[in-house]
Homo-oligomer: A and B are copies of this chain.
Amino acid sequence: MKVDGRVERGEQTRRQILRRAVDIASVEGLEGLSIGRLATELHVSKSGVFAHFGSKEELQLKTVSAAAAIFSDLVVTPALALPDGGPRLTALMEGWLAYSEGRTFPGGCFFSTVQAEFDAREGRVRDLIADYDRRWTSLVSATAARIPGLTEDPDQLAFELVAYLELANVRSVLHADPAAYTRARAAVASRLALAVSA
Binding site for B on A (CB under 8 A): 26-29, 31, 106-108, 112-113, 115-117, 119-121, 126, 129-130, 133-134, 155-156, 159-160, 162-164, 166-167, 170-171, 173-175, 180, 183-184, 186-187, 194
Contacts and interface: CB of A to CB of B under 8 A. Distances in A.
A160 to B, nearest CB: 5
B115 A175 contact: no
B170 A187 contact: no
A116 B170 contact: yes
Given A116-B116, A163-B167, A174 B31 contact: no
Contacts of A28: 120-121
A-B pairs, top 6 by smallest CB distance, nearest first, are A116-B116, A107-B120, A163-B163, A163-B167, A119-B174, A119-B173
